[in-house]
Amino acid sequence: MQICYIWTDKFKSLRDYSLNLSNDHEFNYCSRTRELNKNDKISFPKDFFGEKISSLSVLLGINGAGKTTALELICRCISEHYYFKQKYILVYKVNNKFYLSTNLTTEFYVSFDFTPDNNNEQLTRTNPIFFSNVFDNNHIEFNKSVIDLSTNRKSSPKYRYSNLFQHKYNEWKTPEDRKGDLEKEICFLNSVESKTIIDTIPNRIRYDIFRQSNSYLKKFVQRRSRINTRENNHEIDKINFLSDYLRQLFISERRLTSIRENHASSISMLILQQLLIGLAFNHEDGDETCDIILNAIRDESIGTVGILTLISKTSSINLGAHSFQEIFDYILLRLDDFLRELNLEVDNSINNGKYSLALDFNEKNSWHHEKICNIFESIFELNVSWHGISSGQKAYINMFSSIWNCIENKRFDRDSGHAIICIDEGDLYLHPQWQVEFIEKLIQSLPTISNTKVQIILTTHSPLLVSDIPKQCITLLNSNTNKEAPSDAGTRLQSFGANLYDIYDLSFGLNGLRSGNLSTKYIDNITSILDKEKINKSDLNKLREALVIIDDEIITHHIKKKVDAQ
């Protein structure tokens, strides 16, 4: 199955808008004559991208051409056609048979055979996946049937509050929902599928932690006071009593958290103290933890480690998909040794109230890091990230990990037999070498991850990506009208294996520019001097200076010729 064509009279900034997504056919609906026509494209080799890629479409255009809006339109036409207020036509193909869905009330001419399907029966089982590395606070509110893996969604206050609400009132759908981003990425890197996608595995992880446990305690006591309006005075008094007790306990253990004496032991104690706080005030079983602490403080000699030992022995608390007792027995009891074995480095150079910890990561210790990540991301709500790799590599891992996790954890219906994946600027942050490999990795990995046929629709600003795409798979968007570019632009377009400048010029609106504005204006000034029959001393000096910085061989040849003639 594949989405072939969408027309709408109005969607956001788009007007009388046509979007072609078929690699084999070009459709056009004329709202004036009420005709929908289909023309065949020049065919390219069958299964060119692999037998499990039903089609691959790339949307190109300058900023403001409506690329992201087009992806949103695709997702909404699939998932919200019943509620779509604007007029639309949707053409899709299953087993070489065309289906047409529309909410137009007036008849229109169709030049090809089709089966009416206004209920979108074939599409209702399809959950489109929307991925974007773009972070601009422009969170798109999709229907729940759209799997939104965008950075904007993860950063949305509404999304974060929803997670907090679920966390407090134990309304998580599955333990997988409690996993943080890096924990999910570790799971992905441990998968069979990742071996063909990620060539170099990161070897260090960075964890942030509060320098003072009482700073962390203050943060969550204040939060709990704000959101727990349903609690009575007795509960509030209990929280205040416990926070005062823990504050005094941490003061008495201050010597144990002095970085000057022993990095591993001190960091270990800070982690344990802040875990105790999190279990009491930032976990769905916090009431049970608080009761254990209240019983424990009758023993005046008990400390943080002793209280955590009691919790592990007397409760059945889970941290996400992990048993707290298992984490405590296998990691926390020997946390000092674990930190030393992983070559702990502490960065305290930035005075922001936190330490940054760097630890070794490999396949052998990935099990331990999954558990530690869960504590830091879900309980501490602090930054955890790969250490020592580029933002591009992080973005690359994040994209494939996000798609793999949503499919692996059954948010995606494998039984539908087809996947539609929309990727908005997936090449963002990627080094050129990664861009060169991007399309190849994509078409090799996505069918393996989804175990179904896949239709890929992506946007990009990278000519390196476009050079791997036949022109039959490219849709140029016109920035002036937000429609597709004129057909002659598609005819002139060169993409697969083409010169990178030619791709840039036609696809991204460079208007003939061959270098940046600064160099273009500088060279224009030098060219005007070269055009003079006679030059003065000032002009001669400018030509000599130009020889030092201009690297165009033809231009420097003419400059040298002019200078030598003086």
The model's pTM: 0.82
Contacts (Cβ under 8 Å, ≥6 apart) of 244: none
Give the chain's residues under pLDDT 50: 161-162, 164-172, 481-482, 485-489
Of 160, 128, 193, the closest CA to residue 455 belongs to: 128
Question: Rounded to whole angstroms, how far apart are CA atoms 277 and 280?
Answer: 5
Helix (H) or strand (E) holding 313: helix 304-314
- The CA–CA distances, whole Å, from 41 to 23, 51, 56, 262, 412 equal 8, 19, 15, 70, 32
What pLDDT is attached to residue 35?
97
What pLDDT is attached to residue 229?
54
Q: Collapsing DSSP states into helix, strand and coil, what is residue 7?
A: strand
Can you point out the beta strands (E) in 80-223? 88-94, 97-102, 109-110, 115-116, 129-132, 147-148, 204-210
What pLDDT is attached to residue 330?
94
CATH number of this structure's domain 2-151+393-507:
3.40.50
Strand partners, 476: 60
Torsion sign over Cα 511, 515, 516, 519: negative
What pLDDT is attached to residue 336?
93
Question: Rounded to whole angstroms, how far apart are CA atoms 478 and 469?
Answer: 19
Question: Rounded to whole angstroms, how far apart are CA atoms 389 and 90?
Answer: 43
What pLDDT is attached to residue 415?
58
What pLDDT is attached to residue 121?
74
Return the biggest CA–CA distance within the chain. Answer: 99
On whether the CB atoms of residues 275 and 375 are closer than 8 A, the answer is yes
Question: Rounded to whole angstroms, how far apart are CA atoms 232 and 320?
Answer: 29
- The CA–CA distances, whole Å, from 433 to 384, 393, 430, 542 equal 26, 11, 8, 37
- The CA–CA distances, whole Å, from 358 to 179, 198, 272, 370 equal 21, 22, 17, 15
Q: 471-485 in b/e burial notation, b at 16+ Cβ within 10 A?
A: bbbbbbbeeeebbbb
